[in-house]
Structure 1
Amino acid sequence: MKVAAYQAPLLPSGSVAAIGLIRERVAWCEAEGVEILCCPEAILGGLADYAPRPAEIAIDVEGGQLNAVLSPLASDRVTTIVGFTEISASGQLYNAAAVFHRGAVTGLYRKLHPAIRKSVYEAGDQLPVFTIGGLTFGIVICNDSTYPEPARILASRGAAALFIPTNNGLPLEKADVVADARRVDAARAMENRVSIIRADVAGRAGGLVSYGSSAITDAGGTLLQSARRLTEDLLVADIGAARRG
């Protein structure tokens, strides 16, 4: 199966530009036979931890708001994984990623390990697997990938690939984490015999920097594609749909 990781620009908090950017990538993927496109963590609106009013960038799933926001990305050929801030019926915020398939949200993952010590996000507690076009996969968001257990559980449930929406927008002195991400991706791949597709942001905005750690790694830990530093990019690779070994 052909998959893609979109390294999107690091946008200002609250920006609505992401949908248009992703729509362009979906159109390209349709033309090139890409079946699953992974976008970064919190690509819609940015991370709530950095927002002046976090609830204002949050999106409701149960009431249908997310389906409406994502409707421009509808495609019969390309499934898109999109990171956003979810607000629950009780007002809790979650760092989430949606699986948007044929015009509807068909799956949702909530980040298990919010990375900031006093994050506004609640922790998720589910590790679902999804199947699209014969590929069974899991999602772990950014910091979740540094913990071996989520990947192990997802692989035990049949995942042949892990998609990792990431947002490494950080203060300059902490921003160069690309090598760390590469080591984590190789470790999770080799431990579980799964392909790893990581999609990060890149650039500078709001006093933060992300060098861009987007990459695609095969189930043996070999780096297949890696993104250019500090700039928007799109990585594409063919991965196996079945777990090996």
Structure 2
Amino acid sequence: MSIYNHFRKEELPFVERALEMLTLVERKQAMRLTDFLDPRQLAIMQSLTSQVHDVAVMPYGGFEGAERVRVIIHPAYFDPEPADFHLTLLHIGADQRFHRLEHRDVMGALLNAGLKREKFGDMLVDERGCYAVVADEVADFICSQVTHIHKTPVTFEKVEWESFEPPDEQYQEKTITVPSPRVDAVIGEVYHLSRAKALIPIRGGKVKVNWKVVDDPSSLLEAGDMVSLAGWGRFKLLDVAGPTKSGRIRMNIGLVT
């Protein structure tokens, strides 16, 4: 069976690029640094190391628990350092009295500035401030060119990693009840969509569970799953409680803010 049969069609271009990088490192015995990968891409990269010899991958996103990471592909004998990942931490200064910046606001501003998503990692927003992890090579451009997020004036300033304490995950918690843990039922309840309307984005490949496209509406969700619906946002299934008196399933979900 071909290695490609293990992956979805839309994942194959990344699989091919990852295999090329792994093979190049194996042949040249030289380190290679990727752009930022999401957790699904990282899992693919790690699984493909079985196709090469004496090659390892090391992920790092600037802090423990980072969701998006750069990966160093390196000969097994090499031991990368944090500086080898070429990450810059930017603090975003803004007057948030009238509009509180959210994760999607920061991401939208960077994309609108012409940056590719692969050039920036996690964006961290809480009451203490806003931060963005970016590739070194785009940090100066962001600091000089991104001056507003929506209509709010902002400044980007480089911060030393030693002074940074990442904020805790921020969720807007919500309790729902569903007839079953099927992905179409849960998405419909979370986003107030009928079962028929929930089927459209699922069948269209717009839904990801744990960063992997899920187009089968009967797929079952479990506690801990991260679910995203393109254009709507994402949520984490925090826990599944016992059934209600009517037999429905009670779930606690956390909308990512």
With normalisation by structure 2, the TM-score equals 0.25
Please tell me whether Structure 1 or Structure 2 has the larger radius of gyration of its CA atoms: 2
Structure number with greater CO (CA < 8 Å, separation at least 6) is 1
Which has more helix, going by share of residues?
2
